[in-house]
Amino acid sequence: MFKFVVLGSAAALPSKKHLPSCFALKHGSVYLFECCEGCQRQMMKYGVSYFKAKVIFISHLHADAFLGVFGLVQTLNLMGRTEELRVFGPKGTKKFLESALALNELKPFFKVIVKDANAGIVLEEDDFTVKAFPVKHNAPAVGYALEENEKTRFDEKKAKAKGIRGKMFTEISEKGRIRVGNKTVGLEEVTYKEKGVKVVFSGDTRQTERIEKESAGADLLIHDACFVEEHRKLAEEKFHSTAAEAAETAKKAKVKWLLLTHASNRYDDRSILLKEAKKTFENSLIAEEGLELEV
């Protein structure tokens, strides 16, 4: 199970109600997508352990996407962190963050490994991978696609027909085949493959075909929806997307759910963003701090 927690949902400017777009994935460890200013406080507020933070994925080097890194690192220093922390971001991230963290005032006592995320797989965990891909913003920027490994599931009907019961399921899982009576049964005879979970995070971006391609069949697409269609020209000038554009991408990619994020604070009532998206893609949601989604 993958649980996403919204830590921030706004565009670059924070407000009394919202912080810049930022998400935590709880899956054993904690994986952050963006690290906005005040990120660690949001983590405490919404039940996300900052001490379990393992990887930070930054989409671009505008301040709202990374300012929280420094505070988080300092808190982990004070808490006696020893495990390494990994940070991925677009071209220039390694040089920038390593230079900043080399300062005596910011230097961590634990290892922080920073890498530029070129297109392709940047992280391989036991049961999922994370891939970076280019998006269109007014600074070098990447989106991220998380894909769970294909899962092996037992076909109960077939297993029972082959005489597999109780502890035999564990045995055949471990050995690949077992003896049942006078016959040998292979694992492939009683199982099937199930597609893993797929979640895509666009980061700050204009609508692009690349996002549509990377999001194909995703369970969840988290997409920039800074403006409504009335302000599309502004979206184009600022290299952001409208809610309608995000919905159009979700529909073309045939995703299960769309989560709109990076909403401009010019909209006191965000329901207009959601209403606009739903005209094109019904399974649309709007990000709000504290919202949890399980996929």
Per-residue model confidence as pLDDT tens digits over 127-174: 999 999 999 999 999 999 999 999 877 778 887 887 888 888 888 888
Give yes or no for residue 6 having a pLDDT over 80: yes
| Shared-domain flag, residues 172 and 80 | no
Burial of 236 (0-12, 13-18, 19+ CB in 10 A): middle
- Would you state the pLDDT for residue 157? 84
**Do 116 and 161 share a domain, yes or no?**
no
Compute the average pLDDT of residues 47-73.
97
pLDDT of amino acid 170: 84
Strand partners, 183: 180
CB 289 within 8 A of CB 19: yes
Residue 282 is assigned to a structural domain of this protein? yes
The tally of domains found in the chain comes to 2
Kindly state whether residues 171 and 65 are assigned to the same domain.
Answer: no
Interaxial angle between packed helices 93-101 and 68-78, expressed in degrees from 0 to 180 and rounded to the nearest 10:
40
| Residues 108 and 234 grouped into a single domain | yes
Asked if residues 76 and 39 have their Cβ atoms less than 8 Å apart, the reply is: no
Which pLDDT does position 187 carry in this prediction? 81
Domain containing 15 — which CATH number? 3.60.15.10
Contacts of 76 (CB under 8 A, 6+ apart): 50, 51, 53, 85, 108, 110
Residue range(s) defining the domain that contains residue 162: 154-183
* Domain match, 12 and 68 both: yes
pLDDT: which is higher, 160 or 241: 241
Closest CA to 21 of 30, 268, 12: 12
pTM metric for this prediction: 0.91
pLDDT level of residue 289 (50, 70, 90 thresholds) = very high
- For residue range 175-205, list pLDDT tens digits in order: 888 888 888 888 887 777 889 999 999 999 9
pLDDT, position 151: 83
Average pLDDT, rounded, for the chain: 95
- Please tell me the predicted confidence (pLDDT) of residue 167: 84
Catalytic residue numbers read 64
pLDDT at 101 over 80: yes
